Amino acid sequence: MRIRIVDAFTDRPFAGNPAGVVLFDSGEFPDDDRLQRIAAEVNLSETAFARPLADASQGADWALRWFTPLTEVDMCGHATLATAHVLHITGAATGTVRFAARCGVLTATAHEDGSITLDFPTAPITPVALPDGVTEALGAEVLSTYDTGPHIGDLMVELADEKTVRSLAPDVRALGRHSRRGIIATAPAEDPSRGYDYVSRCFFPNVGIDEDPVTGSAHTALAPFWSGRLGRDDLTGLQASARTGLVRTGLRGDRTLLTGSAVTVIEGDLLA
């Protein structure tokens, strides 16, 4: 069984968000416990498992699942990008790949420049009251607060500016009490001429990820929020983690396009 580590939403190694990718030749997935143990051993924010579908009646070519070190998740952008990257560089797929996942059918389209565009459902963001304790856990004042819907399960908070987002040093354990997965913190870019329109950081203690380096799924909520604020459907978000990464977002009604690049950094055999 081949396993690859791919840095997603970056065009250079050791940046972006690393994901494990395991492709199965055929048949059913191994049992859930085995998949979870592999993901725990890889110990990245997500490991993706994909297998080809013999029956295209589902409207998809591959079945795709994602596991953090602790649990299976409904949606993951960077590991989907990493999987599509592996399928294309190995010749297992060309053009547009359709994935059947927990959150529905997702597509990944490769471009000549090596980038890949994912087509994901747009998160239904809903204004909510700021829960008690969030300001203290973040260590920053919150301007507005939003629920991001069932597939993501995060609390999204708007902060004053880019500097505030970058300087966050939150109590991540305390943040975990306020949403199913965690917290998305965001603010407008200080200087859009630098190539991005908004910044974010993501803290997901409830799935074993204190801070996620670059979160594709979070951008399905960030895209409609910032498109509404900035009046443009096509934007670029910078996730201001230590590794950093850029996600180009395109709001298309109930779908959001996420575009980025990926780089394979490790390839080997799973022996156990």
Catalytically active residues, by annotation: 46
36/51 Cα distance (integer angstroms):
16
Cite the DSSP H helix spans in 111-270: 134-138, 162-166, 172-175, 219-230
> What are 56's two structure tokens?
């295209």
Place of tokens 């049992």: 31
Give which of 266, 237, 264, 267 is closest to 81, Cα–Cα.
Answer: 264
- φ/ψ of 110, rounded to 5, equals -85, 145
Give the rounded distance of the alpha carbon of 238 from its chain centre.
13
Q: What is the spatial distance between Cα 20 and Cα 22, in angstroms, rounded to a whole number?
A: 7
The helix (H) or strand (E) run that includes residue 210 is strand 209-212
